[in-house]
Every structure is written in C-alpha cells, then in structure tokens.
Amino acid sequence: MGYYNDHYPKSPRKKNRRWLIPILLGIIIGILLVVVVMPNLMNSNFTPDNREEVRQSDNGNNVTNKQVNVDVSTQITDVVGKVSPAVVGVTNIQRSADFWQQQEVSEAGSGSGVIYKKEDGYAYVVTNHHVIEGADAIEVVLFDDTHIEADLMGSDLFSDLAVLRMDSKHVEKVIEMGTSGSVKVGEPAIAIGNPLGQMFSGSVTQGVISGKQRTIPQDFNQDGRADWQAEVIQTDAAINPGNSGGALINIDGKLIGINSMKIHQEAVEGIGFAIPIDTAGPIINELEKEGTVKRAYLGVEIYSLDEVPQSEWNRTLDLPKEVEGGVYIWSVDPLSPADRAGMERLDVITKLDGKEVMNMIDLRKILYQEKEVGDKVKITFYRDGKQQEKTLKLTEQD
C-alpha cells in the first residue's frame, strides 16, 4: 500500500497506483494454492478429514469434539491383507458310537492350514499331522467362512506335516513360497492362524525371528522319552492352540514356516516354533504324490543306553569302559535288513558308517536324513564285549 508523508499535500496531477501490485500478487498466489497445491495435498493425505462437532456440556458451555480420520495403512497391513485369504481353518471330525450303536459325529479338534497350490481343479493345503490325526473326515474353512470337505493326501508323524486336497472352486488365493535358509535373527515375523478355533479365525500376531535351527525333543508315545528332535524356527510371535498348521511369513508376505507348537509353561512367554519351509517343502511334495514319506528301514526296536543304569552296562551288556553311549537292540523284526545281517537282541550299536551314535535320535537322524531306501550302511556294534561290524542294505518298511 505504500507510505504517505502527511506534511505535504498530494499532487493533483499524479495518482499513486502502487497498491495494485500487492493485490494482483495476492490474487495470483490464491489461484495457485487452490488449483495446484491443494489437490496435491489431498492426494498425499496431508489434509486429514477433520470434522467438528459442537455439543453443550453439563455446565452449559459449548464443547467442540474434533474427529480426525488418518490413513494407518502400513506394509504389515498390506501384507496381511494379501496373505490372509490363503490361510484356512482345519476341522478334525471324528465319529463315535453310543451305547445303542448309533453314530455320533463331533469336532475332535481344529487348527489351521495354508493353501500352497492350485492345480487341475484342486487346491492343496498343508497343515500339521497332529491337527488331523485320527480324523474320520476333514473340513476346511476358508477366509470368507466357506466350508469345504477335504481329502487327506498324506501325513507324517516325524515332520508333523500333512497335506489335504479340496475343490478349488471357491479358492482365490495361494500363498507365495519363501525360503527359511536366509532368515535372520531379529527380522520381523508374522503368524496367521485360528487360535482357539474358528471363533478367532484369521488372527494375526507379529514378532521377530528369535532363533534359527533350534532342536526340540519330541515324545510321540508320551512315555517320557524323546523319540525325535524337530529342527524348528523360534519366534516370539504368539502361537496358541489352533494356530498349528498356520503360516509364518516374512515382511514380504512369503511363507517361511508352518506354525507348529508353543512351550506350555507358566513361566515361559513368547516362545513359539515353526517348521522351516526349506525342510517342509520336500516332505510336502512327497506326501502329495506318495501319501507317505519313505524312510530307510533297519528293522530293530532300539533304546538309548542312557536309559539303562550304568551297572547294567558292564553286567548285562558287557560293555568296555571306553563306550560312552549308543543304542541297544531290544528286538529284531523277522526278515528285516537287521535280521538278514545277523543282528541280535542286546547288540549295542555305537556307529553308522563311522558316525558316532550316542542315542536313538542320532541313529534316526542318520537313517532318515542321510540315507535312502536301497543304500548300504556299515554298523559298528558290541556283542559280548567285543566290537564287530556288519554291512547291510536298507529297505522300505512295509
């Protein structure tokens, strides 16, 4: 607008038009703000939808409530939205007869599963063996609550994996496979499943990878002795009953593990386990095609030496002092590889192909993970206090 000197009169011949320049600049800037800047701000979510509501308080004063809607989408929410339709519920249905021999159908248990393949009109689901164990019928519950009857293609006790097949008519999403070999301790992990049954279907928990290549003892027959050691991924993402068989995914939404178990102790919190997908992959393929996992068969009932009192090592088994561990044979299956090789009851096996065997888990790991049906194996054992060796050909158990 300019400054004026009050001591001098205005010239009647000259009109001061400098006030037009600021007004024109203001108009131009205003147009630019409305036409260019505001739409960009709206698209970039810098201007939340603000709403004001005026109400009267108890004392008669006006109070303004301001509602702000903010976009909270993150990479995790996007990943969960993409993957969740590929995670399903699995219901174990069993039939029983009452006193009058009338059949009753009941839900014996439930868990989770992951749709990993869609082919030739069928969809394939991987879940845990213990989820479907003993089932007379199996039902899969999709993300949208559609119920589909499924067939059991195969199941394996030692890996705790099972494969189901169902009609793919209502299946839209298949999970993307990742790799567990490259996961790092501390990286994000997301568990998706159905804890406590279908009431909480599609539940999501987030954590990190707490450990790799953990070994957890498994007691299948509940006799207090470990029958196997499962190699698992440890995570602090909550895995509760019903989550079994669900997906453990990375931040990219790729499957890195099949949720399997949680340590149930009051003093323990945030320790869950999943079967690494690199371990599960070959077993899933074999179960889908063969219905079972073919493992090398020795044909003996064995027990670890550490289950026998030290006094019996010398008195009954006649073992020399340098023997520190092994497995003893309790029985030999007729016509088995061990029987044909001349193995006998109370023989103590200490090595397979030169590898030390301290207990029955060591023996099973060598047979199941390093040997195949048809392979030859050299057994080092003790009988009547003397070390002996025999070579036998492994077969498949009938």
Please tell me which residue in 110, 112, 129, 130 is annotated as part of the active site. Answer: 130
Q: How far apart are CA 171 and CA 168, in angstroms?
A: 5
Burial bucket for residue 77 (CB in 10 Å: 0-12, 13-18, 19+): exposed
At residue 230, φ and ψ (nearest 5 deg) are: -85, 135
Q: How far apart are CA 312 and CA 331, in angstroms?
A: 18
Using alpha carbons, select from 238, 255, 224, 206 the residue that is nearest to residue 74.
206
244 is catalytic: yes
| Cβ atoms within 10 Å, residue 284 | 25
The helix, strand and coil proportions of the chain, stated in percent and rounded to the nearest 5, come to: 20, 40, 40
Q: How far apart are CA 197 and CA 193, in angstroms?
A: 9
180 is catalytic: no
Please tell me which residue in 244, 260, 304, 336 is annotated as part of the active site. Answer: 244
159 is catalytic: no
Q: Give the sign of the dihedral formed by CA 233, CA 234, CA 238, CA 239.
A: positive
Q: How far apart are CA 350 and CA 361, in angstroms?
A: 12
- Cβ contact 132:155 at 8 Å: yes
Please tell me which residue in 84, 129, 155, 160 is annotated as part of the active site. Answer: 160
Q: How far apart are CA 127 and CA 115, in angstroms?
A: 9
Q: Which residues are catalytic?
A: 130, 160, 244
